[in-house]
A = this chain, B = another copy of it.
Amino acid sequence: MDIGMIGLGPMGGAMARSLMRAGHRVSVFNRSADKIAALVRDGATAAASPAAAANGDAVITMVANDAAVEAMVTGPSGIVAGMRTGCVHVAMSTMSVALADRLTEIHTAAGQAFLSVPVLGRPPAAEAGKLFLMAGGAADRIEAMRPVFDALGQRLFVVGERPSQANLIKLCANFMIFSTIEQLSEVFALAEKGGVAPEAVFEILTESFFSAPVHKNYGRLIVDKAFDPPGANVHLAAKDTRLILQAAESLAVPLPFASILRDRFLATEARGEAELDFAVISRRAAEDAGL
């Protein structure tokens, strides 16, 4: 298929390469041009604008935040203005439920197809085509995009007909990750103060009932204090936590654990550690315990 890829950060770049390896033709666009050259060397075509990248069978957006998505979608050279008839906009970055609803309206009003398909997984999984994908939108549209999703992920979950439902579940998954970090951080602090090394606790937990990737990956980061360079930094996680709380607020759902995470992220920003990996919030439980 002919795919436009907008956003060439670590995730978007890896996804573009996975698509090309699977035989798709990929045209790429990025706000800062320097990342385009590398992809062109790998076989991609440079698109002059978001609109130009939307001239094929699908255009994927994988950018930093809500504002960046909106910048790519709107305006005279944006996706909506330039989308070819038959092209589908597949929004894959983490964004707010509210924005996903707004994009749905915009594309629908323009008679265009829109899917929201956020992913679980970091850049190495994107490179290996091993992401988990959560798809929201019309079932037949999702089915038609199967070749694209197969190239990117190990598993596709169809969430619901409303595109934003996929974003809600993606935010739930991130909330699971963040709160697992807090769980583990409290446990490590308690065990360490009781004389049991975090490494030993890590082994006991991850080799018994707590053996999920979320436990192993983030538990490892915390035990090793491996926060620099970050896989994803505190700013990003704090932003996602804000999106979770906003979604919960508009649905009138109290989330006590999420409120604690919010405070952990704010305290971490206040201490000037916001550029580190978000697992660094484990320092808060440790500090509060006097470690």
Chain A residues in contact with chain B, CB under 8 A? 97, 120, 132, 134, 155, 157, 159-160, 162, 165, 168-169, 172-173, 175-177, 179-180, 182-183, 186-187, 189-191, 193-196, 200-201, 203-205, 207-215, 217, 242, 244, 247-249, 251-260, 262-264, 266-267, 269-272, 285, 288-290
Closest Cβ of chain B to A251, distance in Å, is 4
State whether A196 and B252 are in contact (beta carbons under 8 Å apart), knowing that A210-B212, A260-B257 are contacts in the complex.
no
A203 surroundings in chain B (CB, below 8 A)? 157
Interface CB pairs A-B, < 8 A, 25 = A120-B209, A134-B204, A157-B200, A168-B191, A169-B191, A173-B205, A175-B183, A175-B186, A176-B210, A180-B183, A183-B183, A190-B244, A190-B247, A208-B213, A209-B212, A209-B213, A212-B215, A252-B269, A253-B266, A254-B270, A254-B288, A255-B263, A257-B257, A260-B260, A267-B290
Q: B263 and A288: CB pair below 8 A?
A: yes
Which residue of B254, B255, B289 contacts A253 across the interface (Cβ within 8 Å)? Answer: B289
User: CA A41 – CA B256 in complex, angstroms?
Assistant: 51
Q: A260 and B256: CB pair below 8 A?
A: yes
Q: B190 and A172: CB pair below 8 A?
A: yes
A208 surroundings in chain B (CB, below 8 A)? 120, 132, 155, 157, 173, 213
User: CA A256 – CA B281 in complex, angstroms?
Assistant: 13
Least CB separation from A266: chain B residue? B254
A159 surroundings in chain B (CB, below 8 A)? 196, 200, 204
A169 surroundings in chain B (CB, below 8 A)? 191, 196, 200-201, 204
Q: A196 and B213: CB pair below 8 A?
A: no
Q: A168-B196, A209-B217 are in contact. List 10 more A-B contacts (CB 8 A).
A: A168-B190, A168-B194, A173-B208, A176-B209, A179-B179, A186-B258, A209-B213, A211-B211, A254-B262, A259-B263
Which residue of B155, B160, B194, B251 contacts A190 across the interface (Cβ within 8 Å)? Answer: B251
Least CB separation from A217: chain B residue? B209
A207 surroundings in chain B (CB, below 8 A)? 155, 157
A211 surroundings in chain B (CB, below 8 A)? 211-213
Which residue of B132, B209, B247 contacts A214 across the interface (Cβ within 8 Å)? Answer: B209
